[in-house]
DNA sequence: ATGGCTACGATCCGTAGA
């Protein structure tokens, strides 16, 4: 079974190409971020026609997250329970015999800014939420745009990025606090080529130069990690016309459910 | 050179992303 996370950077702009990729890649579960849609604009019927049940939690203009599943999708929870947040960044559901939490973590803008403080507060709330989820769901996947490059090898130019937002020490500590719950970065379960990224700046020919960051991740609980057979990034849709600046990250799980 | 691109919703520029 194939689990995918993809920050689409406006579904409206890319609906057709996203549907084309879904038809080709045939993921079983899709976590989507930055739909930039209100819930009443979510094209549930288009995805239904492709064979997906879906749940969307959005606000229009900014943010917006969704989970699509080829099998029935239930127990949908929106946001981080107990964490008041106007920004629609989290949705969870039970699909294919596992609990899936789809996250669009805050960008943080600049170290020391209000948005950066919000990002760290938000990560603390996410940690507490996932801690509780792990108690209830040993089969837990957390997939999304984390806006954190965990290590220097996830950064095309670590010197240029040193201390910047996405790689700063407190952000990486917030990331490691998620791993400390018992979650595994599926990508690092395997030998990987160097310089694999999931996001490239639109400017300065970032993609052509492979000047990117690996910030889109699939985290797996211990039990799910044992079933994981691969974790990759598909750069193909980033090469198309008017692409999202993010590429989809995929994890393969050996699970019958 | 501190920009550079893209999307959004407002208009013909500002905000935000990463």
Query: What's the 3-state SS for chain A?
Result: CEEEEEECCCHHHHHHHHHHHHHHHCCCEEEEECCCCEHHHCCHHHHHHCCCEEEEECECCCCCEEEEECCCEEEEEECCCCCCCCCCCEEEEEECCEEEEEEECCCCCCCCCHHHHHHHHHHHHHHHHHHHHHHHCCCEEEEEECCCCCCHHHECCHHHHCCCCCCCHHHHHHHHHHHCCCCEEHHHHCCCCCCCCCEECCHHHCCCCCCEECCEEEEECHHHHCCEEEEEECCHHHHCCCCCCECCEEEEECCCC
The answer to whether A113 CB is within 7 Å of strand B is no
The answer to whether A9 CB is within 7 Å of strand B is yes
The strand B neighbours among A residues 27-56, by Cβ under 7 Å, are 34, 36
Contact by Cβ (8 Å): A138, A130: no
The answer to whether A109 CB is within 7 Å of strand B is yes
The answer to whether A216 CB is within 7 Å of strand B is no
Q: What is the pLDDT of residue A255?
A: 80
The gap between A203 CA and B3 C1' (Å) is 10
CA distance A132 to A130: 5
Strand B nucleotides, any atom under 7 Å from protein beta carbons: they are 4-9, 16-18
The answer to whether A200 CB is within 7 Å of strand B is no
The gap between A35 CA and B16 C1' (Å) is 15
CA distance A97 to A171: 31
The gap between A255 CA and B9 C1' (Å) is 45
Catalytic pick from A52, A104, A116, A197? A104
Phi, psi of A100 (to 5 degrees): -120, 125
CA distance A8 to A100: 18
User: Is A152 annotated as catalytic?
Assistant: no
Closest CA to the C1' of B7: that residue is: A10
Catalytic pick from A28, A145, A185, A216? A145
User: Please, what's the largest Cα pairwise distance for chain A?
Assistant: 47
The answer to whether A5 CB is within 7 Å of strand B is no
The answer to whether A164 CB is within 7 Å of strand B is no
Phi, psi of A25 (to 5 degrees): -80, -25
User: Is A57 annotated as catalytic?
Assistant: no
Closest CA to the C1' of B6: that residue is: A202
**Dihedral of CA A29/A212/A207/A244: which sign?**
positive
Low-confidence ranges of chain A (pLDDT < 50): none
**Dihedral of CA A254/A250/A85/A69: which sign?**
negative
């Amino acid at each position: 079974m194939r689990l995918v996370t993809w920050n689409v950077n406006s579904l409206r702009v890319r609906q057709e190409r996203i549907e084309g990729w879904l038809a080709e890649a045939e993921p079983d579960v899709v976590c989507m971020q930055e739909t930039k849609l209100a819930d009443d604009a979510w094209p549930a019927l288009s995805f239904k026609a492709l064979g997906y049940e879906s749940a969307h939690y959005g606000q229009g203009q900014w943010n917006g997250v969704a989970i699509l599943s080829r099998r029935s999708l239930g127990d949908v929870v929106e946001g981080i329970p107990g964490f008041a947040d106007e920004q629609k960044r989290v949705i969870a559901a039970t699909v294919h015999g596992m609990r899936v939490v789809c996250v669009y973590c805050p960008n943080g803008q600049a170290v020391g800014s209000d948005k950066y403080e919000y990002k760290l507060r938000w990560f603390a709330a996410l940690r507490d939420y996932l801690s509780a989820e792990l108690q209830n769901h040993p089969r837990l996947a957390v997939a999304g745009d984390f806006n954190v490059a965990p290590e220097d090898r996830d950064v095309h130019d670590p010197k240029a990025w040193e201390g910047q937002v996405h790689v700063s020490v407190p952000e990486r500590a917030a990331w490691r606090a998620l791993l400390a719950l018992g979650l595994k970065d599926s990508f690092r379960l395997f030998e990987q080529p160097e310089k694999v990224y999931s996001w490239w700046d639109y400017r300065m020919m970032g993609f052509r130069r492979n000047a990117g960051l690996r910030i889109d991740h699939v985290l797996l609980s211990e039990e799910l990690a044992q079933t994981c057979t691969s974790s990759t990034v598909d750069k193909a849709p980033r090469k198309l016309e008017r692409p999202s600046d993010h590429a989809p990250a995929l994890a393969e799980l050996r699970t019958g459910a």
